[in-house]
Structure 1
Amino acid sequence: MRRADRLFQIVQALRGGRLVTAQALAEKLEVSTRTIYRDIADLQSTGVPIDGEAGVGYVMEAGYDLPPLMFTKPEITALVAGARLIRAFGGAEMAGAAEEALIKIGAVLPEDARDRAARVQVHAIGWRMSDDLRVQIDRLERAAERGLRLSFSYTDQNGAATQRVVRPLGLWFWGASWTLVGWCELRDDFRMFRLDRMDAVEEGARFKPERGKRLQDFYRMMEARGDRP
C-alpha cells in the first residue's frame, strides 16, 4: 500500500471520534506500530486534529474531513480530456476505469470546479474501436506489466507473415492505430507492431528485464537516432 493511501486509511479509521489503538491500526494496515506512530505524527504536523499517545490510543476531532481536491482550470481540462480520450480509444477495462474516474472527479471537486469540468469542450468518439481491439489492448497491457512473453503471427505492410516471440514493453497510440513496442526474439532487436496486424496472440513464459532490452534502452536508441516513439 502506498504511504498516501495508508495515511488516508488512518484518517478514515479515526473518523467519528472513537478511540483506536496504534496496534489495531497496524494490524488493519499490515504495518508495524512504529510506522503508525510515525504516520500519526506526520498527520498531526499537517494540521489533522488527532489527539492521543502511544500505548493509549488516538482519537480525531469529530467533524473533521479531508480538504477537497483543488485543481487549476488547465488541470481540470487535462484530467477530463484525458479520461474522455481513454474512454473513447482505450482498452475495455481502461474505458470503464476512465468512466469511473470521471464520476469520482466530479464527486470530489468543489461545486465551482465541478462546473468547470462539465464545461470542458474536448470530446472523442472511438468509432473505429472494435470490442476485440479493446480486449486486445487490455491483454497486451497486462502482459507488459506482468513481464510475459507473447507469441503471435504478424503480417507486415507488404503482406508477408512471420511468427514472432516478443517481450512486450509498452503500448503506443498514434491517433489512428495502436502499436506494441517490444524486444523481438526473432530479429534480436526492438520492434513496433501494429495491433491490427497481430493474430493468434498467446501468452508465454515470464521474462526478466535485461540490460539493452528494456524500455529505457528503447528510448535511448530512439533519442540517439533522433526519432520519437
Structure 2
Amino acid sequence: MRRADRLFQIIQVLRRSSKPLTADAIAAELETSKRTIYRDIATLMGQRVPIRGEAGLGYVLEGGFDLPPLMLTSDEIEAAVLGAQWVAGRADPALARAARDLVAKIAATVPERLRPVVLEPAVASPPSWKVKPETLDMPRVRAWIHSGRKLTLQYRDEQERETTRTIWPFLVGYLDATRLLVGWCEMRADFRTFRTDRVVDAEFLEDRYPGRPAVLRARWFAAREAEMKAARCEPPQ
C-alpha cells in the first residue's frame, strides 16, 4: 500500500471507530507494523489532522474533521452499490428511490476509471421476495424517529386481534419481505416489535418521548445481545 493511501486509511479507521484505537489495532487492520503507524500518525498530526491520544492508550479522531466526500476506493464503491441495490429492492418507495439516486450520483462524480465499478458492478443483491403491502407512511415514521416523537398504532396480530399501542419508535428493520417497527411500548412497559404490514392505522403524535432515540436503540441492542448470550449458555434440555 502506498504511504498516501495508508494515511488516508488511518483516518478512515479512526473516523468509523467510537472508541480509542491502539497502534496495534490499526496496524493489524492495515497489515503493517506498529512502528509504521506511529510514524504515520505523527505525520498526520503534523499536517493538523485533529487526532488525539498517545502510544499505549489509543487514538481518536476529533469531530468536525472530514475528507473530500468522494475519495472512494473501488471496494467502497462496490459496497455502496451493493447496499443501494438491496435498499432499492426491499425498502419503502421513498428509500428505494433515494438508493437509485445515490448510485446515479456516485456514477456522475467518481473518476472515469472507477465508473465501470458503479455501472457494471461485480456484485449483486439477490432478487427480493414480494414485500407485503402496508398502509403505514414509512417516510413519516422515519421522521418521527429522528425527532423522538410518539406514535399510536392500531395493530392486528397474527390471531387477528386488534390492540391500540402508544410507542416510542426508534428503529425500522428492513427484512426481505417485511418491515419491523421497534419501539418502547407504554402499555407493556417494555420493548416491542411490530410488523408494519399489520398496522391498521397510525396516529402521529406531537408529544416527544423522554430521552433520545439513540439511547433507546443502544438499550434495545444491549438487551438483545444479553438474550442471545443467555440462550447460548443455556444447557440443553
Rounded Cα–Cα distance in structure 2 between residues aligned with 1:162 and 1:134: 17
Tell me, yes or no, if structure 1 residue 73 matches structure 2 residue 79: no
Partner residue in 2 for 1:217? 219
Match of 1:199 in 2: 200
- The structure with the largest alpha-carbon Rg is 1
Q: Distance in 1 between matches of 2:79 and 2:135?
A: 23
Q: Name the residue aligned to 1:104.
A: 105
- Give the share of equivalent positions with the same residue, in percent: 31
In the TM superposition, 1:128-207 aligns within 5 A as 128-129=130-131, 133=134, 136-207=137-208
Gaps of 5+ in 1: 1-44, 47-65
**Alpha-carbon distance in structure 2 between the residues aligned to 1:93 and 1:193:** 20
C-alpha separation in 2, matches of 1:68 and 1:149: 34
- Equivalence map 1:10-49=2 (5 Å): none
Contact 1:92 / 1:134 at 8 angstroms: preserved in 2? Answer: no
Q: What SS is found at the alignment partner of 1:157? A: coil
Question: TM-score with structure 2 length normalisation?
Answer: 0.60
User: What letter is aligned with 1:90?
Assistant: A
How many residue pairs match? The answer is: 163
Aligned residues of 2:181 and 2:194 also touching (Cα < 8 A): yes
With the length of structure 1 as denominator, give the TM-score of the two structures.
Answer: 0.62
Q: Structure 2 stretches of 5 or more lacking a match?
A: 1-46, 49-66, 230-237
Matched AA of 2:225: E
8 Å Cα contact 1:147/1:208 also seen in 2: yes
Residues 39-82 of structure 1: CA distance to partner in whole angstroms, max 9, x if unpaired?
xxxxxx68xxxxxxxxxxxxxxxxxxx97934333212110111
Deviation at 1:119, TM superposition (A): 1.9
Q: 1:137: Cα distance to partner?
A: 2.0
1:68–1:221 distance in 2 versus 1, CA, 3 Å: closer
User: Root-mean-square deviation (CA), in Å?
Assistant: 2.9
- The within-5 A match list for 1:50-61 is none
Runs of 4+ in structure 1 displaced over 6 angstroms?
none
Aligned partners of 1:97 and 1:119: how far apart in 2? Answer: 20
d(CA) in 2 for partners of 1:185, 1:135: 20
